[in-house]
A = this chain, B = another copy of it.
């Protein structure tokens, strides 16, 4: 059972992670304090409940969503927790520094922690594209860069494009998906046959992945309504998400059967596509004011997601050489684009209707913001990917150990057979 895993990695992860943690504690020491206001509302009722839903989505939902590979469940779930725990700490600081002026102490409040959790979900989404092909040091670096870039982008679009928080947070899906895909492209190496065999789904892991999918499915209405402040808008957002995601679940399962010559359903499609409706409804959200339009959007999202999963891998894998481990492109990328475009189309329609130059300007801004998020996602992903390719993160698992927990985990003898 001698591992081919280089010894040098031993010092690498702990050194990095503990230094980083110590640095974070220092920054917290100098620059933060707790909210000492006596405001009682915060932890009660809706607010606390939505915060918890978002946490459950990040920890359980995204953690288990990527656990469907045959021998990679441990890494999926534990690395997800590690990245989230680090990412949230960093995102709270960043959010505070960017939001207030730099001279002040960051005050830690529940809304700030919640926003930080949502920002920290971006690397958790991207990781689906590179999982099994990177080590934990690389993932930590990716987390830091991605959270920084995404939060800066959000702040930029808020301050200069005057986009509200609840809209620019919804671009997380396209941003994270394209960021992850480009990183996967940079790190792509030809996979040996053995690794391809491991890149498959099995019964029990698939059920764990289904568990993650279901947690995301159930709590998505909370995610989409989390940053809305008006109770009425929040209610509409919850309803829209509920209907869109219900229809995308129905569509995904039906179309997956349609796409197979013998009418069989593909489990990997289900993990991806049932969530497409929730992703797509994110950006237009409370602008949609009737259930049927949310349902149509959910239907289209399901179709696009399954269609992408069926047709794109060929060109992505063979031509571009991007290996998207868990289908991030179909789960988050394409439905997110659909949502962004729908948002723009809705505003354009409205502008056309009102013949108000202000509205037309807003349409342009929205279109610009969407392209900006995609472009910055691609650019920063490229930089990150090139950075991650450097030899100093020596501990990349050998290609033969791709998609296998054995590369990172102490395996008891018995467990190997399972």
Q: A residues within 8 Å of B by Cβ?
A: 3, 5, 7, 9-14, 17-18, 21, 24-26, 28-29, 32-36, 38, 40, 42-46, 48-49, 52-53, 55-56, 59-60, 63-64, 67, 70-71, 73-74, 77-78, 81-82, 85-86, 88-89, 108, 110, 113, 136, 197, 200-208, 210-211, 214-215, 217-219, 231-232, 234-236, 238-239, 242-243, 246-247, 249-251, 253-255, 257-258, 260-267, 270, 274, 289-292, 295-296, 299, 395, 405, 408-410, 412-415, 418
Contact = CB atoms under 8 A, between A and B. Distances in A.
Copies in the complex: 3
Contacts of A201: 412, 415
Contact of A70 (B238, B270, B414): B414
Given A7-B262, A255-B14, A410-B267, A214 B74 contact: no
B5 A264 contact: yes
B262 A10 contact: yes
B110 A250 contact: no
Contact of A236 (B21, B34, B260, B415): B34
A81 B210 CA distance: 11
B250 A77 contact: no
Contacts of A418: 202-204
Given A52-B218, A270-B78, A88 B200 contact: no
Contact of A409 (B21, B247, B267): B267
Contacts of A70: 414
Contacts of A395: 263
A407 to B, nearest CB: 8
A201 B73 CA distance: 14
Given A29-B292, A49-B52, 13 more contacts: A7-B262, A14-B263, A21-B251, A28-B292, A32-B290, A38-B232, A43-B235, A45-B46, A49-B49, A60-B211, A71-B203, A77-B207, A264-B410
